[in-house]
């Protein structure tokens, strides 16, 4: 598990290879990941946007930006957490992701970015 804390917002990430969805002969490798966002601050915050940087092991890099996470823009009171799962297709069996979430402090609409730590996308057959 990878963890980062930015301005009192803790991001934890776990990833897993998806062998049933992957097609190695067609250079198609799928990885799922679960992200937990915990509000350790004293402020109520809302997640507005995501910005991902995705790298395959062949040097190809992609960026993905959009509103919220899986169609949601959760509001987190102090002590609250929000978890969601998503997935990422790669053209190689190994890759990595990292990014940011754009958050808003609800009381004064102040915007700030929270770091999503870099996490590896590696199938089990590559770690043995």
Instruction: With beta carbons less than 8 A apart as the criterion, state whether 12 and 1 touch.
Output: yes
Q: Is the pLDDT of residue 5 over 90?
A: yes
pLDDT digits (tens, 9 = 90+) for 13-65: 999 999 999 998 999 999 999 999 999 999 999 999 999 999 999 999 999 99
Q: Is the pLDDT of residue 128 over 70?
A: no
- Quote the pTM value: 0.91
All structural domains of the chain: 2-122 (2.60.40.1470)
User: Residue 11: what pLDDT?
Assistant: 98
Compute how many other C-beta atoms are within 10 angstroms of the C-beta atom of residue 110: 11
Instruction: With beta carbons less than 8 A apart as the criterion, state whether 13 and 31 touch.
Output: no
The CA dihedral of 71, 62, 22, 34, to the nearest 10 degrees, is -40
């Amino acid at each position: 598990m990878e963890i980062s804390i930015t301005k009192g917002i803790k991001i934890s990430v776990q990833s897993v290879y998806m062998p049933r969805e992957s097609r190695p002969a067609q250079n198609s490798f799928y990885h799922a990941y679960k992200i937990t966002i915990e509000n350790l601050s004293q402020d109520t915050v809302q997640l507005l946007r995501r910005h991902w940087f995705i790298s395959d092991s062949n040097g190809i890099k992609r960026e993905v930006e959009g509103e919220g996470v899986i169609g949601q823009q959760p509001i987190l009171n102090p002590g609250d957490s929000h978890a969601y799962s998503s997935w990422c297709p790669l053209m190689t069996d190994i890759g990595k992701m990292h990014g940011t979430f754009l958050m808003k402090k609800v009381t004064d609409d102040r915007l700030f970015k929270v770091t999503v730590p870099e996490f590896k996308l590696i199938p089990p057959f590559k770690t043995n």
